[in-house]
Amino acid sequence: MGHIRMMGAAQPFISGAISKTVNMPQEATVQDVQQIYFESWKLGLKAVALYRDGSKLSQPLVTGKKTAEPAETTSPPKLRRRRLPKRRHGFTQEARIAGHKVFLRTGEYEDGTLGEIFIDMHKEGAAFRSMMNCFAISVSMGLQYGVPLEHLVDQFVFTRFEPAGRVEGHENLRACTSVIDYVFRALGVEYLNRTDLAHIVTEDMQGQTGKHATGHPVGREHRSGNGGNGGASADPAAPSAHLPGKATESTLAPGEFHGDAQDAQLSKFPGDAPACDNCGHITLRNGTCYKCLNCGNSMGCS
């Protein structure tokens, strides 16, 4: 009402209306507005302007406090980085991809889980070498902030760019579609026992289920059906209360699959699988080539 009284005192000396806005708080009611206009009429004002705080999306001045956001719109908790020990173990793998020498180095936590990677190709150009180093740093940061290794492996295998082709120096891999494909195939074989990514499955991989090749446990066991390219095999001498394919929901662990090797492959088609040039059916990876389960056609392999 202070606004109204000031205008009422000045109005007798002014021929026109007074340009003065009555500012009202956000909680003002219809009755408050009615009272403003009624008092303005009683004091003989020729016009009156009102503004309620917050009635527009933007305004030059805000006087009220910001209220706390509801729980549904609060930001997620900040992720915490799990630091590696100052002295850590790992492995160094030397290999050649189409004649290009590549060194893959890893760093592990105390429990044997992967925490960082290094990719060295010292004879490549400065730009390519720097990009590979930055990529390795970003992957390492993701691992230390909790990104599961299996998600990274599934995302980056079968990536295609040069250099690509024959792999020399790795006992389980014989070909790759790029350096990135080789790196994550090697990590999948070494830390997740992803025998489906290996071209040669050695005897020491047959009896492992989600363990590092040196025996260190990883954070998550990987089960993917029977041995060979279908996945890690279980111990044949171990007793089992359920036959493959008959396991109940309560006995299945997350990511566990019961069935034959072909069912394990069909459960997830490769992302880069081409269509069959004979019948058009989606093909399935067969070693370094592809085969069609519909007509039996082979895409380049005998």
- 280: phi then psi, degrees, rounded to nearest 5: 85, 0
293 and 259 within one domain: no
Q: What is the Cα–Cα distance from 301 to 291, expressed in whole angstroms?
A: 8
Residues 244-257 have pLDDT tens digits of 444 444 444 544 54
Written as one letter, the residue type at 109 is Y
pLDDT for 163 equals: 87
262 and 293 within one domain: no
Quote the pTM value: 0.51
Please state, for a pLDDT cut of 70, what percent of the chain lies above it.
69
Residues 114-134 have pLDDT tens digits of 999 999 987 777 888 899 999
Across the range 132-160, mean pLDDT stands at: 93
232 and 105 within one domain: yes
pLDDT for 53 equals: 85
Q: What is the Cα–Cα distance from 83 to 216, expressed in whole angstroms?
A: 19
Residue 298: which domain range? Answer: 269-302
Please state, for a pLDDT cut of 90, what percent of the chain lies above it.
34
- The reply to whether 63 falls in a domain is no
277 and 249 within one domain: no
- The reply to whether 24 falls in a domain is yes
pLDDT for 27 equals: 87
* Tally of structural domains, the chain: 3
228 and 214 within one domain: yes
Q: Is the pLDDT of residue 239 over 60?
A: no
47 and 160 within one domain: no
Residues 68-116 have pLDDT tens digits of 555 555 677 888 999 999 999 999 999 999 888 999 999 999 999 999 9
- Local confidence band at 206 (pLDDT 50, 70, 90 cut-offs): low
User: How is 130-161 classified by DSSP, letter by letter?
Assistant: HHHHHHHHHHHHHHHTT--HHHHHHHHTT---
300 and 157 within one domain: no
> Around 20, how many Cα atoms within 13 Å sit in the side-chain half-sphere?
17
146 and 20 within one domain: no
- Local confidence band at 260 (pLDDT 50, 70, 90 cut-offs): low
Q: What contacts 298, CB < 8 A, 6 or more positions away?
A: 286, 289, 290, 291, 292
Across the range 151-177, mean pLDDT stands at: 89
126 and 261 within one domain: yes
233 and 169 within one domain: yes
- The reply to whether 64 falls in a domain is no
Q: What contacts 20, CB < 8 A, 6 or more positions away?
A: 3, 6, 7, 49
